[in-house]
């Protein structure tokens, strides 16, 4: 919709949900599209997506096995993301926190972490359980105070609590619009 000089935010505030879904269907009907949708929105918008053989794709992102089981029969493609290993998590966290100081992309970003923060930083990376989104959120916090160990200790405690509550794996179910088996679009 953006490519036709429409602004999605305009439609998000205009009309009820049914009207918005009809508009979505109309706008996409003659277009090739790639839509990335979270399972929270999937049930609400699935019926509005045109079911045509035009090489369009829908990438359904979920952490719930029930969602993948329900939709994987509509697609032979199912990719289960694995968490990052500890070393990659540590490197990614360092990149998020100290990456702006890198002079060369080939440099070891972990060397930019001050020595007094390395142990606690590795612990924080481990507590993120290899989940990139957790690392991004925590890295966004750590960048605020790149020298203060007390701040990093508080983040470590909070990260341990948050990680304990969410130990889910993200699954991606790409669905070709010509085979996702939903209500056929009508012009």
Per DSSP, what are the bridge partners of residue 62?
171
62 phi, psi to nearest 5 deg = -150, 160
Return phi, psi of residue 68, to 5°: -70, -40
**Pairing label, strands 57-62, 171-176:** antiparallel
pLDDT value of position 178: 45
Least confident of 1-10, 12-21, 124-133: 1-10
* Residue 99, token pair as written in the block: 């990456």
Say what the pLDDT of residue 4 is.
52
Q: Tens of pLDDT along 8-46?
A: 555 555 568 888 888 888 888 888 888 888 877 877 888
Better-predicted residue by pLDDT, 159 or 135: 135
Query: Is pLDDT of 92 > 70?
Result: yes
CA dihedral 130, 132, 136, 141 (to 10 degrees): -20
User: Residue 89: pLDDT band by 50, 70, 90 thresholds?
Assistant: very high
Choice between 86 and 43, residue whose per-residue pLDDT is larger: 86
Spatial CB neighbours of 57, under 8 Å, sequence gap ≥ 6: 33, 34, 35, 174, 175, 176, 177
3-state secondary structure 88-156: HHHHHHHHHHHHHHCCCCCCCHHHHCCHHHHHHHHHHHHHCCCCHHHHHHHHHHHCCCCCCHHHHHHHH
Work out the angle at residue 87's Cα, subtended by the Cα atoms of residues 139 and 82, and round it to the nearest 5 degrees: 85
Q: What is the mean pLDDT of the chain?
A: 77
- Confidence at residue 169, expressed as pLDDT on a 0 to 100 scale: 47
């Amino acid at each position: 919709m953006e490519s036709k000089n429409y602004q999605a935010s305009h439609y998000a505030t205009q009309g009820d949900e049914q009207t918005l879904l009809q508009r979505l269907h109309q706008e996409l009907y003659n277009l090739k599209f790639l839509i990335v949708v979270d399972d929270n929105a999937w049930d609400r918008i699935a019926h509005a997506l045109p079911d045509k053989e035009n090489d369009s794709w829908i990438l359904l992102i979920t952490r719930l096995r029930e969602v993948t089981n329900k939709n994987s029969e509509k697609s032979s493609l199912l990719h289960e993301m694995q968490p990052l290993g500890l070393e990659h998590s540590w490197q990614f966290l360092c990149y998020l926190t100290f990456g702006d100081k890198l002079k060369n992309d080939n440099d070891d970003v972990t060397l930019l972490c001050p020595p007094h923060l390395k142990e606690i930083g590795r612990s924080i990376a481990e507590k993120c359980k290899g989940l990139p989104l957790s690392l991004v959120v925590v890295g966004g916090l750590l960048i605020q105070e790149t020298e203060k160990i007390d701040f990093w200790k508080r983040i470590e405690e909070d990260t341990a609590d948050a990680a304990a509550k969410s130990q889910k794996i993200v699954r991606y179910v790409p669905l070709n619009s010509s085979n996702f088996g939903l209500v056929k679009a009508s012009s």
